[in-house]
Every structure is written in C-alpha cells, then in structure tokens.
Amino acid sequence: MLKEITGGIAAPKGFTAAGVKAGLKKSGKEDVALIYSSIPAAAAAVFTQNTMAAAPVIVSREVADKGQASAIVINSGCANACTGEQGLIDAKAMAHITAAALNVPDDQVLIASTGIIGVTLPMDKLETGIKQAAKALSTDGAKNATLAIMTTDTFPKSCAYEFELAGKKVRIAGIAKGSGMIHPNMATMLSCITTDAAVAAPVLKKALTDAVNVSFNMVTVDGDTSTNDTLAVLANGAAENPVIERAEGAAYETFAAALKEICIYLAKQVAHDGEGATKFLEVTVKGAVDFTDAKTAAMAIAKSPLVKTAFFGQDPNWGRILCAVGYSGAKSQPETATLSIGGITIVKKGLGASFDEQALRAVMAEHDISVTVDLGQGSATATVWTCDFSYEYVKINGEYHT
Amino acid sequence: MLKEITGGIAAPKGFTAAGVKAGLKKSGKEDVALIYSSIPAAAAAVFTQNTMAAAPVIVSREVADKGQASAIVINSGCANACTGEQGLIDAKAMAHITAAALNVPDDQVLIASTGIIGVTLPMDKLETGIKQAAKALSTDGAKNATLAIMTTDTFPKSCAYEFELAGKKVRIAGIAKGSGMIHPNMATMLSCITTDAAVAAPVLKKALTDAVNVSFNMVTVDGDTSTNDTLAVLANGAAENPVIERAEGAAYETFAAALKEICIYLAKQVAHDGEGATKFLEVTVKGAVDFTDAKTAAMAIAKSPLVKTAFFGQDPNWGRILCAVGYSGAKSQPETATLSIGGITIVKKGLGASFDEQALRAVMAEHDISVTVDLGQGSATATVWTCDFSYEYVKINGEYHT
C-alpha cells in the first residue's frame, strides 16, 4: 500500500531540509539539521519520560502542546541536558535564532539536541550553523540532515513513502538516530517525521501516540531511557486531501496505518543499530492475559543480559528466556508455556522439546532471529525489538573515558 | 557486638554438616551438602518470586510453612527447574531419602537445588551422595558443605558469630552461593543460616523477612531473578535462651540485629562475587520520599548496563547515573539532585560540580566504590550492592554453548 519514494525527509510537498557542519562534533561531521515547512504544519510530538529531561525537551513540549510548527532544528554533539537555567536560556535562544532565520514566530520551532550530557551549548558555533542551514535548505537536503542527527550510529536511518488518501497522493517520510545512549554521555533516540497530509493537530497526536506504542516504545537496547528522547511529526496539508478532523473513518485509518508503518520501520532500524549489536532480535509474546502483560514479558526477555549474551554466543538458552518470563511479573506458569526460536519449537508446556538441532544451530547463526513465547494464559500479543549484548557493547561503553 | 567464631555453618550447638562428591558436577567437586540439627528446629525460609519456580522450591515452601525442620539438603550441578511432574517426584524423593537417612519425618527436610535448568536429577547418584553425606555429618563438615553448594562462585561464602542473648551465649552462622545466574543455565542464589537461639517459628519468619529486605533483596548483579533462589534459617534452641515468642523486646531486637548483620554480610559477598566483577559498588540513595522510592532509584542505578560498564572503565560518568535516577520512576528532579562517588561530590543540584579530578581518579581505580545520590525530595534512604559489567561477564554468559 505504501510506495517507497526518493527525497527522504524532504520528500513530502512543501518541505525542505539541510544539514551543516557547525563544529559541535569533534569529528567535524554534519551536526546541525534543519527541517522546514513553507506552510505552517500541524505538529505533534512525544518526549522522554525521564525526570532529568533535557532543556530542549522542556522547550519543545510547549511548542508541541500548541499543535503547530514550521520547523525542527536538531543539533548533535551536545545534549544540553543537566545544564540548569543556562540550558533553558540556550534552548530558547536556539529556537529564536532558527525562527529569525526562517522569519517565523519562535513558538513555531521545535528543537532537539543529542550529545554530551552536563555541558552547555557552544551558542556562537550553533548560531552560525543554524544560519548556514537556513540558507542551505532545499528539497535535496535530506541526506545531510540525516547525517547531522547521527552520533555514533553506524548507518543513517531514513525512509519516504507515497500512498493514496481520499483520492489524493500523499507523502510521509522519517529520519531517526540510534538507540542505546550510543556513545558514553550521549543521549539517545531522536526521530522526525514529515508528511504533506492534511491532519488536525489533535488527530495527529492521537495517531502518533498509537504508532509510538507499537514501535519506538517496543524497542530496547540496554533499558536506559535517555534524557533527550524526542519524536516529532509535522503535517503541512500540501497534499490537499480533505483535512482529517477526527480520529476515525477510512482516511484516518489509512493515515494512521502509514504513520504506524513508518514508525515501526524506523524503530526496527534503531534496534538493528544497537550498541555493539551482532544480532537483531524480534521477541513476540502471545497468549497473554492482556497487552500490558505481553509487553512486560517480552521486555523482560529483551532486556535480560543473560538472554542477550546467550544470543551473542548463538546459544539457544531457553532456560534463561523462561526465567525472564517468570520474573517479569506477567501472568505465566511453566505448564502452559511454549517457546520457539526461528519457528522451531524448543519448549512445550514448560519442558524441553525434541527438535532438529542442526536447524536450530542454523537459525542461531543468522543475524535476524525471531523468539516467540506463548504464555497460554490469554489471547493478547506484543512484539519487542532488541539486539544482543556483545563484547563491543562493553567496549563502547566501558573503554571511553570522560 | 557479634564475635566472629570458627566452625562455619556447624558452629551453632546441635548442628552438624557435610559435603560430599556425588558426581552431579562435571568437575567432580563436592555437590551434595547436608546440614542437620539433632534437635528439631524452628524453620523459616524465603524463596524466589519467579513463576517458573523450581520443584525443590515448591516442596520446601510446604515444609517452611509448617515452621519446623531438622535438616537442609542442597545439591549443585542440576537445578531441577522446568522439569515438570518428574521434577516434583524427584524433589519429594530427595527429601524422603534424606529423611530416611536421618530417621526424621519427610516434612522436616528442606531441599534446594542449583545447576542446569531443564534437566532432571540423576536420582541414583543423588541418593548415594545423600546417604554418604548423612554418614559424614560432623561439627567439622562446614567447609565441605560450603564447597558443595558452589557452582562457579570464585570463593566460598561463609561466616559464624557468637553473641549474648538474655544472658546466654548464642551462635549464628550462614553460608551462601553466588549471584547472577552464575554459569549459563545455572540457577542463582542459595543461602542457609543456622542458629542455636530459641526463637518461635513465626517470629523467626518475621526477623528473616525484615533481614532479607535490607540484604539479599538489595543485591543485583544482572537483574535476572532465578528459578531457585532460596534462603532458609533453622533455629534449634540449643543455646537454651528463653524462647523468643514475640517480634518485640530486647531479646528479639538483639536476635533480629544479628540475623540482619549476617544476611547483609552474605549478600555483600554475593555481589562481590558477581559474574566477571572487577568492582564492588555500594549504591546509596537518600533524600527519597520513602524507602520504596529510594530502593527503586538505587536499583535503577545498580542495574543500568551503562552505569556498570562505566565503572568497569573507571569512568565517573555522572550523566548516566542521573539518567538512571530519572527513568527509575522515583520522585526526582535535577534541581535537587546531588551525587558523590567515594565521598567526592561531583554533581550539585543537577549540575556538574568542580572537584579534585586526581582524587576521583584514585577512587575509581579502587575495587570497592561507594555511590551516593541525594534526591533532595524527602528523608528515606536505601542501599543496594552490585558489581560492574565487564568483558568477563559477556565471556561467561556468551561463550558457553549448551
């Protein structure tokens, strides 16, 4: 139903993007991204629940609450987190500088930062960078914008699709940066989605929340929820479909499904690029009494260092997986638990089953592995995405020195 | 107030112990431990909350509920977990064989197992071992008993103390095996405490629960709660102090304090011996609104792979510590958060403080490190013990193959 298209985050009509080198990253790579809609867009966003939320999160929450924005500016290299009063002043200045350069009101600019915690923004460099980015805005700017939000991600994460909405061609695109507090002291997940669909802000927020609950909220790398997590979506209506005013009906369902698909795609990309990952794990728990229980059990499996190191070692260690389910808090009992890896059933009713060991070895040797646990307690299902725990994870996070 | 004495788990009057080699461990080392009280003792125990609880846990729960026992038999090498009906039959047989050998009723024998999950007990070897152990019981048997409950612990964990109770000399002793699901597929924490104090069973249970909540329940290595965790205490009254009938008064307070101290000692030993540990971390959270909040925040810090790898790398990464507090769910805010490592304050009111970097480097280079966070929200405090996350942890858990 969704057709992949080129153009990345700037593919939807009315959007332009840019990524420039402002010198915030020691590496000298792109570190300021700007995404702009020539038409004020309906805006919705979700943010970290961390009580140590960074200054840009506090500022962007206010903008998102108003439901309208024209631009998103993102810097990497400095998270502007744990920076107190000065951090808030800098975050507001970051929005103001962007607004002035684009000639839009300050409260129409969403901001996000990722990078070192506890250090204030180098505002002179940032101001120069934002002004450069504003000049560089173009429909070809997606690639640089995607590069500019990366920290130690090993590959850029971007996608763009076209689909039909009430007879109109509509485009939706997204970019994301990786999960895990990627580099020591680095803050985590940032994502931005643009669409030229016409959607009322409250409806956009509802669709975004539903999409996040089955995508980004189902990803874990190390269980550490950062201070800066931000996901923002702008819908500028340039596609001229009849405005979706209510969270119901065919048009809404079509749009919500597209948004969900793009969020799941980006979320899985984030898990794929988890710190030191050598495996991508899709953990599905079914037969739970409700979704919360299913998610709780799936997350316990996906977060367990014992399970993650077992997959790194390509060991189908079902004792650890059942053990994680057992302590998760989800309603479960051995007698009704079934477990399969890569479609091969290895546990039936809590007991080891006989299976083709060679086939299972082959499954464990693959990069993408599915784990399915049927709790046999009900009919609810949840799927979580994660990666394994490798020496590289310890290296990335242990060998760094501040 | 407690005087260290020799004799280990068999030091309290009326107790004997033994540890024998029954061939359950591939290594051929001691793998069956027996602890016996010639006088039926008041018994209390706490067990894993894991819904996949192993068969021995199910059997011992019933014995502990009756509040009396004469012996504890423990095997290593096989956890008898995820073994279904056969596992229960074997566990009951394990108790019966021990009871017959000691000429006591079946329901006076507590049992525990640790080792491989999903494999049934080799009952022939176990029976031979239990009979050997019954013959070998002596006041000098503590050392072998302590060795017999170890799996891949790097050192035995044992202690024995003497103290005054209502004018009588009383002895209390304990042994434990290490934390983390130590070896792949191995089940975790086992501990046994003996005392010749005279304490009514319900009072013993109360004292044990209180002690566990500030000791074993405050230890985390990898956050994985095993299927076999068991802590049992036997009080046989051989010291002839007036029986402690109620959980109040000077005698109770004295006994409860001693039990608490021994549990904390053993719990810290377990954290010291965490998988691949190169550091022992004592994480204290104070200024919390209540104990639950304090423990929640301290556990979030102690469980965070990012924090644990930072300590492995000897990096005082305060951003990660505050971040963990922030997502823990405990009431907190940057403006009131203070953080010190090894007594050196590095964060004041959520902002990086200036400190003697050389002194902090010295602290980070030590093996035992204290981390203290003051949330500035209330007056409750909690202390959690853990270890760091090293390459060795990944090696132990990742390189093993079933």
A352 touches chain B (CB under 8 A): yes
B214/B360 same-domain check: no
Comparing A173-187, A196-210, A322-336, the range with the smallest average pLDDT is A173-187
Which range, A88-97, A113-122, A213-222, A228-237, is most confident? Answer: A88-97
Give me chain A's average pLDDT, please: 91
Distance, in Å, from the CA atom of B70 to the CA atom of B102, rounded to the nearest integer, reads 9
Note whether A117 contacts B309, CB cutoff 8 Å: no
B179 pLDDT above the threshold of 70: no
Cross-chain CB nearest to A50 (options B225, B314, B323): B323
Note whether B394 contacts A394, CB cutoff 8 Å: yes
Note whether A327 contacts B222, CB cutoff 8 Å: no
At A251-286, the pLDDT tens digits run 999 999 999 999 999 988 888 888 788 999 999 999
Of B272, B299, B321, the last residue of a domain is B272
Percent of chain B with pLDDT over 70: 95
A353/A389 same-domain check: yes
Best of B152, B309, B355, B357 to mutate (most A CBs within 10 Å, chain A): B309
pLDDT band at residue B185 under the 50/70/90 scheme: very low
B378/B246 same-domain check: no
A155 touches chain B (CB under 8 A): no
B214/B107 same-domain check: yes
Percent of chain A with pLDDT over 70: 95
Contacts of B346 in chain A (CB under 8 A): none
Which of A248, A264, A107 minimizes the C-alpha distance to A172? A264
Best of A48, A80, A82 to mutate (most B CBs within 10 Å, chain B): A82
Which SS3 state, helix, strand or coil, does residue A153 take? coil
B133/B32 same-domain check: yes
- Note the pTM of the prediction, 2 decimals: 0.84
At B340-397, the pLDDT tens digits run 999 999 999 989 899 999 999 999 999 999 999 999 999 999 999 988 988 887 777 7
Question: Active-site residue among B114, B188, B195, B383?
Answer: B188
B222/B88 same-domain check: yes
CB pairs under 8 A between A and B: 217
A367/A331 same-domain check: yes
A222 pLDDT above the threshold of 70: no
Identify the sign of the CA torsion B295, B297, B301, B303.
positive
A390 touches chain B (CB under 8 A): yes
State mean pLDDT over A188-205: 93
What lies within 8 Å, CB to CB, of A363 at 6+ separation is A316, A341, A342, A343, A344, A369
Residue B188 is among the residues annotated as catalytic for this protein: yes
The CATH number of whichever domain residue A369 belongs to comes to 3.10.20.340
Note whether A305 contacts B51, CB cutoff 8 Å: no
Which SS3 state, helix, strand or coil, does residue B46 take? strand
Distance, in Å, from the CA atom of A109 to the CA atom of A125, rounded to the nearest integer, reads 19
Six token digits for residue A25: 């990253």
Q: Is residue A17 within 8 Å of residue A10, measured between CB atoms? A: yes
A50 touches chain B (CB under 8 A): yes
* Residues of A (165-204) whose Cβ lies below 8 Å from B: 181, 184-185
Kind and range of the H or E run holding A174: strand A168-177
A354 touches chain B (CB under 8 A): no
State mean pLDDT over B237-244: 96
The CATH number of whichever domain residue B82 belongs to comes to 3.60.70.12
Q: Position A89: which residue type?
A: I
A365 touches chain B (CB under 8 A): no
Q: What is the largest CA-CA distance in chain B?
A: 68
A198/A299 same-domain check: no
A252/A359 same-domain check: no
B38 touches chain A (CB under 8 A): no
Of B226, B252, B272, the last residue of a domain is B272
Domain span at residue B382?
Answer: 280-398
What domain count does chain A have? 2
Q: What pLDDT does A347 receive?
A: 94
Kindly list the distances between the CA atom of residue B402 and the CA atoms of A246, B185, B198, B234, B394, in Å, as whole numbers in the listed order: 54, 8, 46, 37, 16
State mean pLDDT over A45-53: 86
Of B234, B254, B272, the last residue of a domain is B272
Beta-strand runs (E) in A214-363: 230-235, 280-288, 338-341, 344-348, 351-352
A188/A141 same-domain check: yes
Residue B279 half-sphere exposure toward CB, CA atoms < 13 A: 28
What lies within 8 Å, CB to CB, of B265 at 6+ separation is B159, B174
At B308-354, the pLDDT tens digits run 989 999 989 898 899 899 888 899 999 999 999 999 999 999 898 99
What SS3 string covers B303-356? HCHHHHHHHHCCCCCHHHHHHHHHHHCCCCCHHHCEEEECCEEEEECCEECCCC
Identify the sign of the CA torsion A29, A32, A33, A38.
negative
A180/A212 same-domain check: yes
Distance, in Å, from the CA atom of B196 to the CA atom of A122, rounded to the nearest integer, reads 68
Note whether B185 contacts A399, CB cutoff 8 Å: no
Given the structure tokens 């464990």, which residue do they identify? A364
Question: Active-site residue among A16, A188, A220, A227?
Answer: A188
A117 touches chain B (CB under 8 A): yes
A376/A255 same-domain check: no
Note whether A84 contacts B52, CB cutoff 8 Å: no
